[in-house]
Amino acid sequence: MNMTLEDNDHSDRFFSRWRLVTGFAVMAGIAAIVIGVYVNHARQQVGADYTAMVGDVVRAQQQNNQLNQVINVFMANPASVHLPEINHFLWLAQRHLEGIQNSIGRYPLLEPHVSYLSDDFKLLESQLTELERLALQTIHDNSFLEPLQQLGMEMEVNMAWIYSELNNAVHAAAGEQYRVTQQMSRAVIPLVLFVLIMTASLFAAVINLQQQRNKMHKLMLTDELTGLKNRRYLVSIATTQLANAQRQQHPLSLMILDLDYFKHVNDTYGHPAGDEVLRLVTGCIASLCRQSDTLARIGGEEFCLLMPNTSMEEAKCVAMRIRQKVASLELDCVKDGLRITVSIGLTTTITGEQTFEQLYSLADQALYQAKETGRNRVDIVLPPVHMGGSDSSYTNNAEKPKSYFSSPSLNNVKES
């Protein structure tokens, strides 16, 4: 039950970090969009170059003098010979007016400052049309001279007003552009820092998530008490090692180790003492293992040792050294005078043809024999061999029974 709760806790933390990473990603995305919109808007605003606009306004302001000269010449001699001069002026005036109106639409900062001039622009357009009409009529009827002169004066006033206001508006927009530039420089830096911080936080969260995932994966494959691999990992690695053994035609040995009378230790000294015994025995066994070996805890006091590229004789020597070292292990830190022994069942496949389940069953049979014949010993059960048309398991009683409470020395092995 405790292990289930712990697994659930790790699972909750795992998914919480996923939610955290998702939240960071969403926030960073929103920040990127906001910065993108802001920069695009600021680029439109700040990117406006008012130099051309100022030039258009200055040239348009000079049209007052041109209009005055054209009107005076025509008034002195209202003949068709002067119509080209009036038409040229009208063409220039119309061109400047259209150019300025188009420019205003391209400068967002300028447009709010000149929106009130829209009626004046329309009036000037109508005045240009009316000037052309009156000039044509004056050629045939001098009575139109006075209206023509009056219209010219009104146009001069209107153009002076429009282009003076435009000049002021351009300078105001340029000043606002400077302020926007300053604001942008002050605002973009914090935004960039914010995005960098968000990105760093996201990476940190991802790294943390990966670490948690690795920890969870390790917990799934590791025995928490002893730090050894567990049954799940053992089955996985055994499948791989058996495939390698079969491919390379190398032997592979498997032993199951069970602490003798361990329940008596728990019942007499308590489970904390039993846990400490397990940790000490684990260190003792692990000290005799190679780097290529896999030592796993597969039950309460039961261990399994997988030894690739190891023959039966080599594995038997290792098993006997383990049995001897465990039996001589001092457990005074747990209880004065406390000793413990281990029974070992061993099997070996010559070429990796057996499955892990088959090898485990054979080693378990050997362990059962060791338990039944006195404990504190090593027994061997080998895979079946073809003998006279039938398959038989080969049993090798590796050691004679040893005294549980003594510290036995390694005796000569007698095979039967």
| Per-residue 3-state assignment (H helix, E strand, C coil) for the chain | CHHHHHHHHHHHHHHHHHHHHHHHHHHHHHHHHHHHHHHHHHHHHHCCCCHHHHHHHHHHHCHHHHHHHHHHHHHHCCCHHHHHHHHHHHHHHHHHHHHHHHHHHHCCCCHHHHHHHHHHHHHHHHHHHHHHHHHHHHHHCHHHHHHHHHHHHHHHHHHHHHHHHHHHHHHHHHHHHHHHHHHHHHHHHHHHHHHHHHHHHHHHHHHHHHHHHHHHHHHHHECCCCCCECHHHHHHHHHHHHHHHHHHCCCEEEEEEEECCHHHHHHHHCHHHHHHHHHHHHHHHHCCCCCCCEEEECCCCEEEEEEECCCHHHHHHHHHHHHHHHHCCCCCCCCCCCCCCEEEEEEEECCCCCCHHHHHHHHHHHHHHHHHCCCCCEEEEEEEEEECCEEEEEEEECCCCCCCCCCCCCCCCCCC
- pLDDT one-digit tens code per residue, 357-413: 999 999 999 999 999 999 999 999 999 864 444 445 556 655 544 433 333 333 333
Domains identified in the chain and CATH numbers: 1-220 (no CATH), 231-397 (3.30.70.270)
For tokens 């329309």, the residue is 122
pLDDT of residue 218: 75
pLDDT of residue 169: 83
Amino acid at 60: A
Chain-centre distance of CA 93, in angstroms? 62
Residue length, the chain?
Answer: 416
User: What's the whole-number mean pLDDT along residues 71-86?
Assistant: 82
For residues 187 and 180, what is the distance between their CA atoms, to the nearest angstrom?
Answer: 10
Whether residue 349 contacts residue 287, with contact meaning beta carbons closer than 8 Å, is answered with no
- pLDDT one-digit tens code per residue, 246-272: 999 999 999 999 999 999 999 999 999
pLDDT of residue 409: 32
Flag the least confident range among 53-57, 156-160, 305-309, 351-355. Answer: 53-57
296 is written with which tokens?
């796993």
Please give the mean pLDDT across all residues of the chain.
Answer: 80
Handedness of CA 191, 197, 198, 203 (dihedral sign): positive
Amino acid at 192: V
pLDDT of residue 71: 84
Whether residue 415 contacts residue 382, with contact meaning beta carbons closer than 8 Å, is answered with no
Sorted by sequence, the CB contacts under 8 Å of residue 414 that are 6+ apart come out as: 397, 399, 400
For tokens 């258009």, the residue is 56
Question: Beta-carbon neighbour count of residue 214 at 10 Å?
Answer: 10
Q: According to the per-residue pLDDT averaged within each range, which of 31-35, 190-194, 220-224, 312-316 is highest?
A: 312-316
Instruction: Give the confidence band of 48 by pLDDT, cuts at 50, 70, 90.
Output: low
pTM: 0.52
Amino acid at 402: K
228 is written with which tokens?
């050894």
